[in-house]
Amino acid sequence: MTTTHGASASPLRFLVIDVGTTGLRAAIVDDDLDVVHFEYRHNPPSTPFDGLVEFDAAHLASLVLDASRAALASVDSPVAAVGITNQRASTIVWDRATGEPVAPGLGWQDLRTITECIVAKATHDWTVAPNQSLTKLGWLLANSGDLDGRDLCFGTIDSWIARTLTDGAIHVSDGTNMSTTTTGMRIADGSAWATDRLAEFGIPEAILPLVVDSTGVVGHATALPGSPPIASLIGDQQASLIGQGCVEPGVAKLTLGSGAMLDVVTGAPPPSRIERSPAGTYALPTWQLGGKLTWGAEAIMLSAGTNIEWLRDDLGLIETSAHSHDVAQGCSSTGGVVYVPALLGLGTPDWDYGARGTLVGMTRGTERPHVVRAVLEGIAHRCADMVDAVRADTGVSVESLRVDGGMSVNPTMIAALADATGCRVEVSPTTEATTRGAAFLAGLALGRWDDVTDVRHLWRPSRVADAAGGPEAEQDRHVARRRWSEALGRARSWYPELSALDF
């Protein structure tokens, strides 16, 4: 049972530190999971060369402290605990004694280790992707100068922030951030380190963090006023899943950011092999409690909001991202125009890195609103592909989608998503549901709630969209999906040498 609104329960507030790819938030969240106040700090990575994505970990730490102290100063009472959620797989190595990073951090998008991934597949039949931490860490240890004799620590963003907040007292990470899916360093079921992989890439176990539960007090944030306990650590997509109450099979969450991630709890047994499923999804550890991982599935879209940025910054068809809704309302349909959002290739289910963005079906009568609407509907169709893939790989019947991320506030996008998927679409009350999930897990650690399923009672969507019903609407959906499939075929394998890559 939930104790959230019990007569004897006094309100609690939590500080949630949410580190994304291009910036970070420090939010004060109450125990209704409403954001009371937040501070944002812009912190984009650098790209010194094409395919390289780096960041200054020391600067990130200073921004986290600055934003956290500002957020704490905004409220008149101490917070009960701190929760940390973060972009997954970004990789940092630092000196244990001094806390100084030995090199720039490598962002999850960094592609410098593609060759190592190809070699690992060819020589060991290991499925290793360049966005995982394994090859990034091996590269840092081999290319960061003379590291002999130094006591080093490796961590993903959660480890680094926990180290920062505790003045170096702890070196931990949770099961979602250290999972095989994220790092490539654990055995398939996530229960232990994959020692053969560590040895192959020259990684000593001594530098790895202690793997802890996603909820539970692991230390105190002595670098912050009041030294509140750190009570949750979790990867961003898993935090969003929990924050939107998707803690049982059948209810999926979709985060529409620069890319898009569709996640669902399946309750399936742990995987026995580290590999992509037949329909292009990955086994996903959704949280760790009592040393045990709960499992789900994840589908990935490589470019979602990036397409809106392209319309805005490169084509000049819209003034702001929000303006895409207004422009798209200038027409009732795309007039036969179809857009495939493959600016960075295709993820689930195709995993075609050589596919490229494709706009087809234009005529002399095609105008700006048709193109903008086609881009929004193309993103929706890619999301429908991901829903189909999750259903095929897991057998879970996904009937509703809970949606967060920047594009979730776009009414045209939400309506198109409902029509393309045939699902009921419920929009998160905050675009950053990650914050809600990390706050809930911190409260769970303190006994505010009894079980992870209690978060279901805290879900209050800001709006709901249902797919158009009836035989005519179903026929329209069938025609639209068939036309989409034809356009998708034209986008595939534009660069065959890239399409041949398989991670």
Q: What CA–CA distances, in Å, run from 45 to 23, 95, 123, 207, 314?
A: 9, 22, 33, 25, 20
* pLDDT (tens digit per residue) in 273-292: 888 999 999 999 999 999 99
Q: What is the residue-averaged pLDDT of the chain?
A: 95
- The tens digit of pLDDT for each residue in 395-414 reads 999 989 999 999 999 999 99
Rg (the chain; Cα; Å): 22
Residues 292-300 have a mean pLDDT of 97
Q: Name the residue among 241, 357, 253 with its Cα closest to residue 303.
A: 357
8 Å CB contact between 467 and 419:
yes
CA dihedral 95, 21, 24, 442 (to 10 degrees): -80
Secondary structure (DSSP) of 126-173: ----TTSHHHHHHHHHHHSS--TT--EEEE-HHHHHHHHHTTT---EE
Q: Which domains does the chain have, with CATH numbers?
A: 13-241 (3.30.420.40), 304-398+468-499 (3.30.420.40)
Q: Using alpha carbons, select from 85, 94, 93, 141 the residue that is nearest to residue 113.
A: 141
- Report which of 233, 205, 230, 210 is spatially closest to residue 220, judged by C-alpha positions: 230
Q: 124-182 pLDDT, tens per residue?
A: 999 999 999 999 999 999 999 999 999 999 999 999 999 999 999 999 999 999 998 89
Look at residues 273, 268, 304 and name the one whose alpha carbon lies nearest to residue 286: 268
Q: Write down the residue that tokens 């390289």 correspond to.
A: 52
pLDDT for 232-288, tens place per residue?
999 999 999 999 999 999 899 999 998 999 999 999 999 998 889 999 999 999 999
Residue 318 has pLDDT above 50, yes or no: yes
Indicate yes or no: pTM above 0.75.
yes
Residue among 198, 180, 201 nearest 189 (CA): 180
